[in-house]
Every structure is written in C-alpha cells, then in structure tokens.
Structure 1
Amino acid sequence: MINRKRYHSISLKLTDEELQLWNTKHETSGLSKTDYLMQAIRDSEVRIYSVADDIAPLIHEIRKIGTNLNQLAYYSNIGQDDKVRAEIGAIRITNEAVMKRILAFLDNPKFSIKGVK
C-alpha cells in the first residue's frame, strides 16, 4: 500500500466472535489491520433498499400462494387429483411472479456505494 500520513481514526465495538473473525481474516491476509480494512472498504459495495415501498406489495402475492397451498391440501385429502394439478400450476405461476419481482428489487437498490480503487 502507499505510505501516507493518516490523521483520522475510527473506533468500533465488536463481540468476541466478531473480533475472532476480524483477527482470523486480517492475519490470514498477511496485511496490517489498517491495510486489510482499507482493502475491504475499497472492494466492497453497500446497497440500500426501501423494503417498505418495494416488498410490502408482494405480501398479497405471498398470501395467494398460502391460499393455494391450503386448497392443494384440501383437494389432495379428498382425492381430486385434477384440482391438485391445477393448484400446483397456480402456485408455480404466482411463485415465479414473486421471484421475478424480488430479483428485480435486489437488482435495483435505491442507493448504492461502490468501493473506490
């Protein structure tokens, strides 16, 4: 790393387990604690999401899946295999839609900070 004067310090509190993880990772890297932290900062990305705005509407879709599962169990218990297959199809369609929306949510954070190299 480039030799430069550093005037600022950061203090943080860790649990015993977090400190053990920190020590293991920085010692394994062969870097000083400062250089290890600087590399971690430069190579990381922080993503901020608005869960309330983007995920809350999916609750309705997830509830529909639960309703379909209940209907699936009912039809299975009374031996109506054709309705069981139909419910499985409905669950699959709803699940695929929910998963697509979750993946789109994860691909589009409200704010993202990437490390500077």
Structure 2
Amino acid sequence: MVNRTRETQLKFRVNEEEKNFIDIKMKEANISNREAYLRKMAIDGAIITSNFEETKKLIFELNKIGTNINQIAHIANSNADIGTEDIQELKEMMKQIWQLQRSGLLEKHSI
C-alpha cells in the first residue's frame, strides 16, 4: 500500500447536475484534481448568504435623505434660510442609516 499522509477517507454523493457544476467550478479555478479541489473547498471555502432586506431598508433611507437634501438645496438656492430643524432631520436620518448598516454588518459577521 502507498504511504499516505491523509489516512481518513470521506465520501459523499452528488447527482449528475451537481457533479457537472463541480467540474465547471474546477475548470474555472484551474484545478484538475477533484480530491484536492473538494478538500480545499471543504476547508477554506465560504458559503455566502445575502439578506437583501437590510439593503432595501438602507436604500429607502438613502432615498429619503436625498429628497430632503434636494429640498434644502432648493431652499438655499432661493436665498431662504435653512432651518436648524432641517439640519437636525438630516442628522437623524444619517444616524438611522448608520444603525441599519451596523446591524446588517453585525448580523453577517456574528458567530
């Protein structure tokens, strides 16, 4: 028997479509050894999941801020005073965006 450094064998099953997909991914990675590819993916590979709800909330808040900035710019261009209430409202919305962003980042990176 060949002297192996890896004695433990793992087995799993895939269907034909999954096998073809693995073969495609191996070609994209320029790896011809399936065992090496699967071992590398099992140890170092990452599964990425996306939660678009946080992104939608962030986009909604950004749109609100953009609307307010346009209104404030319109007021400023008409030589009217920009009130502290307008500025405070912008600050509040920015705070909300940062909170949304932080919560989304914490969810994605929490263990």
TM-score calculated relative to the size of structure 1: 0.50
User: 1:47-105: per-residue Cα shift (whole Å, max 9, x none)?
Assistant: 656554x566656634431331221331243234x529975664354234313322222
Work out which structure has the larger RCO, using CA pairs closer than 8 Å and 6 or more positions apart in sequence.
Answer: 1
User: When you count strand as a share of all residues, which structure comes out higher?
Assistant: 1
The equivalent of 1:8 in structure 2 is 12
Question: TM-score, length-normalised on structure 2?
Answer: 0.51
- Aligned CA RMSD, in angstroms, stands at 4.1
1:35 counterpart letter in structure 2:
A
* 8 Å Cα contact 2:72/2:82 also seen in 1: yes
- State the partner residue of 2:38: 37
Query: Deviation above 6 Å: which 4+ runs of structure 1?
Result: none
Q: 2:12 aligns to what SS in structure 1?
A: coil
